[in-house]
Each structure stands twice: as structure tokens, then as C-alpha cells.
């Protein structure tokens, strides 16, 4: 079932690119069978949707099944309702004798509106799910905090059941949140999905490697100095030392975030570049390379160096398809990569460059506006997650410090009521070995580290960002947990 739902989400998330690709190829000289074959070969970028189209291609070319029957056959077996309805309508129109160009022209707007409705509904569900998540965490944290004090008043020394059980429930709840959001939100990746890595992405991985080495080196040095008893390292708690050691990991996260801001700027400039390219190419009789040369002399801001690199590759006349593909990869934008690839394929098949550029630009602009709305909601979600991290750390550490102090008081008092037979004080007050509380501080901090990573991964999935952006949120959350632990133990512990 999980695999089925994941495939459905993947297909729905690619429908806007699919219908755009279908539309621009439909105005070319390609037949419908050729169009299906072209899209079916794009399995890397279309993923599960590409697999479904590939099946249609195999049924029509190898098994000689009419396209109308192939559409109906796949529609009965696809997990996506959106794709199922589209293929059913397509099959019926072909049987009725309607031209595929006419059908696709009419259906493009309907599919895009359906995708827009699904995207906006997912944005609304994100807000609702955040509220449900907060309510669930409040109850879990209450159980964890209560479990730290409960053993002393229940006559048992076993607090592991409450703490470990509530910690496991916390992590399971966050894992379910990650899965629900991933299955609920349409896939909207920022970076290209071709499998090729640009020089920018390679530099990010090199920076990650250096950051990991720095973190390991700093961690080993800090804990070695603490072990030897050097001041002030021996005075710092282990939580602070771990946070200091993890701090270099934020560097690739920041760099990835800044690069994604540049990607958004390139996409905005691309929406001006592509229509200009289409218009000039139409005036020049479809001469794309000459049009690119002309536009490479213009100023398109942050996109200008990439346009000039595109012209340099095209001027070599080695492989125009690869030149356009690397144009998208170098910009690090999935929208630019997909848009430029569609433009190249459609114009190569003798489609009107002006019409192709207009269709691609209109659809990308619609989806980009939806992404901007989603990112506005995600900013609120990030603030919520940071506040949740502080709230969990503060409430659990306060309960832990209070329980530890009460346990110390009762241990110092001994058994003052042991000769009073009328009161079974042992059933009311029970002491716990002090070492258990020392272990609990470590357990709680480990749980908070895992909690921080899961929430950071959730933010990454919501944004559709590169994996390295996880560290941009993970490191601050770990710092929030460690500083909260230090402040609570230092100030509240000394006050009590």
C-alpha cells in the first residue's frame, strides 16, 4: 500500500510537466506514437509517470496494440486517479475520431487546473497537519516529563519504561509526520533530476566532506581536552561540546540555501529569456543557435553567464541536445532544465518556437507561483519546528532537574519515618540511584538530536530542496537543545 501511494504521489507531482511536454510536442510534426515514445524515454525525470508512459510505448510499438486500447489498459492499472481520468478521456477521444492535437489543446488547461487545485489543497492540509502535530507532541512530552517524576512516588525505580516509551512515541510521530507530508505534498524538486551533477553541486559535496572532517577533528579535540581536565573544557557539559563539534556542518547548509535563492532568481530571468528566444527564432526562420548567440550579448542578470556557456557549447556543433541539457544542469534549476529540454525537442521537431516558448513559460509561471505560496507557509512551519524543539527541551529538562534534585533530597534525608508503623512512607517516597538521572540526560539529548534531524529532513522534503539543506536547520535545533539543557541545569539547578 505504501509503495502504491508513493507511486501515486510521484505521478501526480509530474503531471504539470507531462501535460506541458505533451502540448508542445503536439504542435510539432511528430505523430502521437512518436510523442509517447519520446516522453517514455524520460524515466529519470518523470520517475513513476515515466514508467507508465513507457508501458504505453511498449504496448503500442512492440505488441502493436492501438493507442486507444493501450491508454485504457494502463488507466485501469495506474495508482493515480489524475492520470487514470486523463488516459480514459484520451482513449475515448481517439475512439471518437478526435485528433490528438485538438484533444491535448483542450485538456491542457483542465489538467493544469486540477494540478493547481491539488497543490493548493496540499498547502492548506500542511497548515492543519502542523496544528495536529503540535497537539500530539504536547501529550507525548507530558508523558515523558511525568515519567521522570512518577517512579519516586509509585514505589519503583524503573523510569525507563516511561522515558523510552515516550521517546519512541515522539520519534514515531515525527517519522509519520515526515511520511504524511511527503505523500501529501506534490513533488516539486528545485534541483534537476537528470542524474548529472553540475560543478556547483560538486563543490557543495566537497564542502560537506571538509565540514565532516572539521566536525570530527573538533569533536575529538574537545572531548580529549575535557577528558584531561583542561579548563574551561572540563566545565562545559557534553551537550555544548557536541553542538560545537557539529557547527561546521551548517556551512554546506548555508551555501545550499544561498544557491537555491540564486536558482529562484535564474528561474525568474529564464521566464524572460525563453519567450525572447522563441520570438527571435521564429523571425529567423527557426535558427535557434543564431538566436542564442544574439541573446547571449544581452543582460539577463544572474542567468547571463549560463546563456553564454550555452552558446559556446552550441557553437561547437558536437551535440546540441547535450548542450541544452547541460544548460539546465549548470543553472541547477529543475524548471529551467525541463523547460529548455522541452523547447529543444519541440523546435527540433519543427514546432513554432514562439508558440512553444509561450506555452512552456505560461505553465512554469503558474507552477512557480504555487511554489512561492508554499514556501511562505514553510517559513511559518520552520518557526513552528524551532519553537517545538525549544518547548520539548525546556519541559523535559526542567522535569529532569526537578526530579534529580528531589531524589537527592530524599537520599540525604535517609529513612526518617522508618519507625512509624502507621504510615507506609516507602510506598509514597522512593529514591532512585543517582546514576540513572545522569544516564537520562544523555538519553534525552540523543532523542533531541534525532528529533532535530527528522524535523530538518521534513523541512527539506517540504521545500523540495537538496539534501544538504538539512544541516541548515539541524545544527540550530541541536544548539537550541544544548543551550536549553545548559541554562536549565545551571540556573534552575543552582536555584533549587
Per-residue pLDDT of 80-134, as tens digits, reads 999 999 999 999 999 998 999 999 988 888 999 999 999 999 888 888 888 888 8
- Report which of 269, 257, 477, 255 is spatially closest to residue 375, judged by C-alpha positions: 257
Lowest mean pLDDT across 253-262, 384-393, 428-437:
428-437
Q: Higher confidence at residue 91 or residue 230? A: 91
Distance CA 298, CA 433 (A): 75
Residue 313: CB partners within 8 Å, gap ≥ 6?
322, 323, 326, 327
Positive or negative, the Cα torsion across 92, 94, 97, 102?
positive
Does residue 418 carry a pLDDT above 60? no
pLDDT band at 286 (very low <50, low <70, confident <90, very high): confident
What is the rounded distance in angstroms from the CA atom of residue 100 to the CA atom of residue 108?
12
Mean pLDDT of 423-439: 67
pLDDT in tens, 139-192: 888 888 877 777 666 655 567 777 888 888 888 988 888 888 888 888 889 999
What mean pLDDT is predicted for residues 318-345?
Answer: 92
What φ, ψ does residue 86 adopt, rounded to 5°? -65, -45
461 pLDDT above the threshold of 70 = yes
Q: For the segment 25-47, what is each residue's pLDDT rounded down to a tens digit? A: 999 889 999 999 999 998 888 98
Q: Given the C-alpha cell 488516459, which residue does it identify?
A: 87
Give the chain's mean pLDDT: 88
Domain segments of the chain as ranges: 2-98, 116-189+207-253+369-415+424-495, 262-367
Residue with cell 543557435: 289
pLDDT of residue 362: 94
Q: Are 370 and 119 in contact (CB under 8 A)?
A: yes
Contact present, 474 and 239 (Cβ < 8 Å): no
Q: Are 247 and 253 in contact (CB under 8 A)?
A: no
Residue carrying the nine cell digits 577533528 = 217
Mean pLDDT of 253-270: 96
**Following DSSP, what letter does each residue of 2-67 receive, concatenated?**
HHHHHHHHHHHHHHHHHHHHHHHHHTSS--HHHHHHHHHT-HHHHTHHHHHHHHHHHHHHTS---H
The fraction of the chain above a pLDDT of 90, given in percent, is: 59
Question: What average pLDDT does this structure show over 301-323?
Answer: 91
Q: How far apart are CA 311 and CA 59, in angstroms?
A: 39
Q: What integer is the mean pLDDT of 191-215?
A: 93
Phi, psi at residue 228, to the nearest 5°?
-75, -15
Amino acid at each position: 500500500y505504501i509503495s502504491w501511494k508513493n507511486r501515486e504521489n510521484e505521478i501526480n507531482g509530474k503531471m504539470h510537466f507531462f501535460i506541458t511536454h505533451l502540448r508542445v510536442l503536439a504542435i510539432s510534426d511528430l505523430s502521437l506514437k512518436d510523442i509517447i515514445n519520446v516522453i517514455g524515454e524520460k524515466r529519470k525525470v518523470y520517475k513513476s509517470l515515466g514508467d507508465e508512459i513507457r508501458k504505453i510505448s511498449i504496448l503500442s510499438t512492440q505488441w502493436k496494440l492501438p493507442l486507444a486500447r493501450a491508454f485504457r489498459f494502463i488507466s485501469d492499472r495506474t495508482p493515480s486517479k489524475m492520470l487514470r481520468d486523463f488516459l480514459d478521456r484520451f482513449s475515448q477521444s481517439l475512439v471518437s475520431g478526435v485528433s490528438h492535437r485538438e484533444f491535448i489543446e483542450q485538456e491542457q488547461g483542465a489538467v493544469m487546473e486540477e494540478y493547481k487545485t491539488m497543490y493548493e489543497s496540499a498547502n492548506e492540509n500542511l497548515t492543519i497537519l502542523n496544528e495536529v502535530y503540535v497537539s500530539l507532541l504536547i501529550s507525548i512530552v507530558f508523558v515523558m516529563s511525568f515519567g521522570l517524576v512518577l517512579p519516586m512516588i509509585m514505589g519503583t525505580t524503573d523510569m525507563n519504561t516511561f522515558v523510552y516509551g515516550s521517546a519512541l512515541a515522539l520519534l514515531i510521530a515525527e517519522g509519520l509526520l515526515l511520511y504524511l507530508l511527503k505523500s501529501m505534498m506534490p513533488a516539486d524538486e528545485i534541483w534537476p533530476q537528470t542524474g548529472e551533477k553540475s560543478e556547483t553541486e560538486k563543490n557543495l559535496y566537497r564542502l560537506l566532506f571538509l565540514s565532516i572532517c572539521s566536525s570530527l577533528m573538533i569533536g575529538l579535540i574537545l572531548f580529549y581536552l575535557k577528558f584531561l581536565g583542561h579548563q574551561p573544557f572540563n566545565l562545559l557539559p557534553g551537550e555544548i561540546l557536541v553542538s560545537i563539534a557539529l557547527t561546521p556542518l551548517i556551512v554546506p547548509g548555508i551555501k545550499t540555501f544561498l544557491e537555491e535563492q540564486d536558482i529562484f532568481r535564474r528561474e525568474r530571468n529564464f521566464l524572460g529569456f525563453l519567450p525572447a528566444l522563441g520570438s527571435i527564432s521564429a523571425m529567423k526562420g527557426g535558427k535557434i543557435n543564431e538566436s542564442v548567440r544574439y541573446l547571449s550579448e544581452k543582460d539577463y542578470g544572474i542567468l547571463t553567464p549560463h546563456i553564454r556557456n550555452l552558446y559556446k557549447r552550441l557553437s561547437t556543433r558536437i551535440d546540441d541536445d547535450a548542450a541544452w541539457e547541460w544548460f539546465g544542469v549548470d543553472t541547477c534549476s529543475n524548471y529551467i532544465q525541463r523547460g529548455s529540454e522541452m523547447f529543444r525537442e519541440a523546435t527540433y521537431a519543427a514546432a513554432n518556437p514562439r508558440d512553444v516558448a509561450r506555452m512552456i513559460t505560461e505553465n512554469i509561471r503558474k507552477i512557480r507561483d504555487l511554489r512561492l505560496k508554499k514556501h511562505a507557509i514553510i517559513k511559518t512551519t520552520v518557526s513552528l519546528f524551532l519553537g517545538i524543539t525549544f518547548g520539548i527541551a525546556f519541559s523535559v529538562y526542567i522535569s529532569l532537574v526537578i526530579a534529580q534534585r528531589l531524589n537527592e533530597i530524599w537520599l540525604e534525608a535517609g529513612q526518617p519515618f522508618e519507625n512509624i508503623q502507621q504510615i507506609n512512607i516507602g510506598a509514597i517516597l522512593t529514591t532512585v540511584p543517582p546514576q540513572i538521572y545522569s544516564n537520562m540526560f544523555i538519553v534525552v539529548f540523543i532523542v533531541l538530536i534525532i528529533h532535530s534531524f527528522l524535523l530538518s529532513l521534513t523541512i527539506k522534503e517540504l521545500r523540495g530542496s537538496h539534501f544538504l539543506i538539512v544541516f541548515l536547520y539541524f545544527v540550530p535545533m541541536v544548539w537550541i537543545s544544548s543551550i536549553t539543557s545548559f541554562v536549565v541545569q545551571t540556573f534552575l539547578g543552582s536555584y533549587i
